[in-house]
Structure 1
Amino acid sequence: MRVKSALFVSALIRRAFALGGFAAVDRKGAEEAGAIFVRLIGRDGRVTLYAPAPQSVAAEQEDAIADDRLFECRLKDAGYDEALALLERECRFDPDLWIVDLELDGIGDLLPVAAGE
């Protein structure tokens, strides 16, 4: 059984603060199963955007548990405006999504990222 989106986001924020970073919910989505997008903002202002991995990618992961959330890197070291434009398009497609901002040196093991990312 998959953890509810609200609980996943809450745990993500707690872990980011525990690592000495900053985290905030920029957009609150559906409590139960809203898609979660993570905007990692570096010290230089560059943005790396993580989005839910497609189901086909999740199915290819040998070590992935069927109910785990899996993310893919959608933008890497992009400008803030470029990431914002992509997120606005996603919001028009899915108004129930979450956007979480993290200010950390790196994503580390905070998110399960698809292999090859």
Structure 2
Amino acid sequence: MSARLTSDLWVAAYLARLRLAAIPAYVTARGDATAGAVVVKLATLDGQARAYERQVDFATDGRRWGILAEGAEGDVDAVLTRARARDPDLWVIEIEDRLGRTLLDEEGLSGD
């Protein structure tokens, strides 16, 4: 059984990894420090955005990052506003990257 990181520790580590890759990122909503879910919004600076959430991967019985919303940035923001209204413990991290990099597929970030 693996120990699960607290949300605030995972967010801090993720932000550090993004900084090392020179990818601007900001916490736009702080959730519960211990067990709050995390959504990563990628703004590609062309009016478009994509929001990722961790989802159950039934094929591997693990977790993976899946798309919660994508399209016009205003529409993605509206989805995130509704999600935060339903779950005030939700963390939202916003990345600004024209190349669309999130690093979510890297070791240590992609699954549990």
TM-score, normalised via structure 2 length? 0.81
Question: Is residue 71 of structure 1 aligned with residue 69 of structure 2?
Answer: no
- 1:11-54 superposed Cα distances (whole Å, 9 cap, x missing partner): 1111111111101100010000001010011132310100121x
1:73 and 1:11 map into 2 onto residues whose CA distance is 21
More moved, 103-112 vs 88-97:
103-112
1:31 corresponds to: 33
32, 50, 53: which one pairs with 1:51? Answer: 53
CA distance in 2, matches of 1:85, 1:91: 10
- Corresponding position of 2:12: 10
Number of matched residues?
104
Partners in 1 of 2:61 and 2:102 — Cα distance? 19
In 2: Cα distance, 1:36 partner to 1:103 partner: 17
Q: Which structure is higher in strand share? A: 2
Gaps of 5+ in 1: none
Question: What is the TM-score of this pair, normalised by structure 1?
Answer: 0.78
- Show the counterpart of 2:75: 82
Amino acid at match of 2:35: A
Which structure is richer in relative contact order (CA contacts within 8 A, separation 6 or more)?
Answer: 1
Q: CA deviation at 1:72?
A: 1.1
Q: Secondary structure at the match of 1:74?
A: strand
Distance in 2 of aligned mates of 1:75 and 1:93:
16
Following the alignment from structure 1 to structure 2, what is the Cα–Cα distance between the partners of residues 12 and 62? 23
Q: In percent, how many aligned pairs have the same letter?
A: 30
Supply the RMSD in Å over aligned alpha carbons: 1.9
| Contact kept in structure 1, 2:69 and 2:79, CA below 8 Å | no
Partners of 2:84 and 2:90 within 8 A in 1: yes
Identify, as 1 or 2, the structure richer in helix: 1
